[in-house]
Amino acid sequence: MKFYFPDSQDLVSPAYDFTRDEYPPHRVRQRDDRYAHEVLSRAPYHGILVSKSIVDGSIKGAGKYSSAQRARLYRMGVHRFFRLPPGVETLGDNGAFNYIDEPAPPVTVSETLDFYEECGFDAGVSTDHVIFGYEPDASPKTADPEWVERRKLTLRLAEDFISLTTDRRSHLEPVGAAQGWSPKSYADSVRALQDMGYKRIALGGMVPLKTDQILACLAEISTVLAPGTELHLLGITRIDAMDQFAELGVTSFDSTSAFRQAFMDDRKNYHTNDRAYVAIRVPQVDGNPTLKRAILSGVVSQKNALSAEREALRALRSFDGGDSSYRACLDALGEYEVVCQTKKSYLDVYAETLAAAPWRECTCTICRQHGIEIVIFRGTERNKRRGFHNLSVLQERMSRLVHRSPGAATPSPEAGT
């Protein structure tokens, strides 16, 4: 089972000063900052996925690349731009979620293939139009007419895409996009894509589905899946179901979930093989809007706020696992919560994090280098590093999974990168 990490220009600065919370004065982001595969001892993914809409922009506006970054990507190619080590693959797609509200994709098949070829991707997904809806018993006659048309359009675009790759004698591996609203409609899409000649198929529009609904679709697809055809899940992790996914023909997936949970989730911020822990929130005084308003209104003394912030950080950095430092941390964090006028206290779950001290057991490069800083929820440098750590944990869990091809008698292990 291969894991692809969707790019959103997530880098960290190796020279960031955690004590002063400062960047070096002459830092150049693209030159000096590092991707996850550069700061960890080995790449925490088998490949990266890059969306055309992220690079070139879409109907909703500009992408996340500056004009200089975009020009550099086209000039250098995707492998050199990301400084990818040997063996890390690249997969391109259109970023159909960015134009989901449009009646038709605002990009042509030719423009899609141009993007993939000019940037030197290993594989690329055909242009598609997302169906956001699930009606397991709906037939083409009873389903929402818009869903039916989007599925037909996606298949027409896929046929044009694979024909164009053939006509151009492209080195790109074409990946057919399958859309549907039910197990049968997904299976019919996969059957049609196989008839067009696709050996690799990406299943789209499944992000909102529950795990049992995804499994129902995969079970139906498995009845038409040809030997050698590989399935990719777009935007899906569901690590607890990956063994079942693999048995039903899934060979790869992409997701930002593990990374984003580091700073977007209320509880599952720091991952381990067994569970996830809450990161310890020590927001910067000048970066906390609620606290800044309280200071400006005179309700909170800026001097007291800065003092409480420094004491919380000092206590955490002095934490040695003993009862005395454990209590000192919780007391300092409690004081800072009061100063910050936190509506919801996290002290109980901070106690769990400190008692377990999971960063001490972690062997990833980031935790070995930075220690407790990685469980401190504070600014992009710590938060993204914690996200990179989470990716390394996902990699380790994925390396334990097995892949069973449809009809195979026994599973065979798939090693991680």
Out of 238, 255, 272, pick the residue that ends a domain.
255
pLDDT for the residue numbered 97: 86
Res. 410: pLDDT tops 60: no
State how far Cα 7 lies from the chain centre: 8
Burial grade of 325 (CB within 10 A; 0-12, 13-18, 19 or more): middle
Same domain, residue pair 219 and 305: no
Residues in the chain: 417
Q: What is the mean pLDDT of residues 107-136?
A: 96
Domain membership of residue 389 (yes or no) is: no
The total domain count for the chain is 2
What single-letter DSSP state applies at residue 187?
A: H
Same domain, residue pair 248 and 317: no
Same domain, residue pair 161 and 301: no
| CA dihedral sign of residues 157, 158, 163, 169 | positive
pLDDT for the residue numbered 404: 40
Same domain, residue pair 163 and 289: no
Q: What is the mean pLDDT of residues 220-249?
A: 95
Res. 412: pLDDT tops 50: no
Res. 403: pLDDT tops 70: no
Distances (CA, A) of 90 to 6, 42, 87, 184, 382: 10, 16, 10, 30, 27
Residue 63: pLDDT band by 50, 70, 90 thresholds?
confident
Domain membership of residue 41 (yes or no) is: no
Task: Give me 119's structure tokens.
Answer: 């940037």
Res. 286: pLDDT tops 90: no
- The closest alpha carbon to 242, from 270, 211, 273, belongs to 211
Distance CA 414, CA 417 (A): 10
pLDDT digits (tens, 9 = 90+) for 292-310: 888 999 999 999 999 999 9
Q: Which residue has the higher pLDDT, 240 or 399?
A: 240
Extended strands (E) in 134-235: 173-178, 200-203, 230-233
Same domain, residue pair 246 and 129: yes
Domain membership of residue 72 (yes or no) is: yes
Q: Which of 10, 56, 93, 160 is catalytic?
A: 93
Distance CA 279, CA 354 (A): 10
Burial grade of 46 (CB within 10 A; 0-12, 13-18, 19 or more): buried
Same domain, residue pair 315 and 356: yes
Domain membership of residue 391 (yes or no) is: no
Task: Give me 176's structure tokens.
Answer: 């057919």
Distance CA 287, CA 285 (A): 5
Average pLDDT, whole number, for the chain? 93
Distance CA 23, CA 312 (A): 22
Catalytic residue check, 93? yes
Residue 409: pLDDT band by 50, 70, 90 thresholds?
very low
Give the CATH number of the domain where residue 212 resides.
Answer: 3.20.20.105
Boundaries of domain holding 308:
280-379
Same domain, residue pair 212 and 317: no
One-letter amino acid at 237 equals T
- Beta bridge partners of residue 203, listed in sequence order: 178, 233
Res. 189: pLDDT tops 90: yes
Q: What are phi and psi of 310, to 5 degrees?
A: -65, -40
pLDDT digits (tens, 9 = 90+) for 341-385: 888 999 999 999 999 999 999 999 999 999 999 999 999 999 999
One-letter amino acid at 143 equals A
Res. 241: pLDDT tops 60: yes
Q: Are 54 and 7 in contact (CB under 8 A)?
A: yes
Catalytic residue check, 254? yes
Same domain, residue pair 303 and 370: yes
Domain membership of residue 219 (yes or no) is: yes
Same domain, residue pair 241 and 294: no
Domain membership of residue 311 (yes or no) is: yes
Task: Give me 263's structure tokens.
Answer: 């700073």
Rg (CA), the chain: 24
Same domain, residue pair 322 and 245: no
Domain membership of residue 233 (yes or no) is: yes
Q: Collapse the DSSP code of 387 into the 3-class scheme (helix H, G, I; strand E, B; otherwise coil) and give the result.
A: helix
One-letter amino acid at 134 equals Y
Q: What is the pTM of this model?
A: 0.91
pLDDT digits (tens, 9 = 90+) for 194-203: 999 999 999 9
pLDDT for the residue numbered 401: 66
Task: Give me 374's structure tokens.
Answer: 């990685």
Q: Which residue has the higher pLDDT, 319 or 98?
A: 319
Same domain, residue pair 244 and 308: no
Domain membership of residue 396 (yes or no) is: no
Distance CA 251, CA 231 (A): 6
Q: What is the mean pLDDT of residues 203-219?
A: 97
Residue written as token pair 């790869």? 252
Same domain, residue pair 197 and 325: no
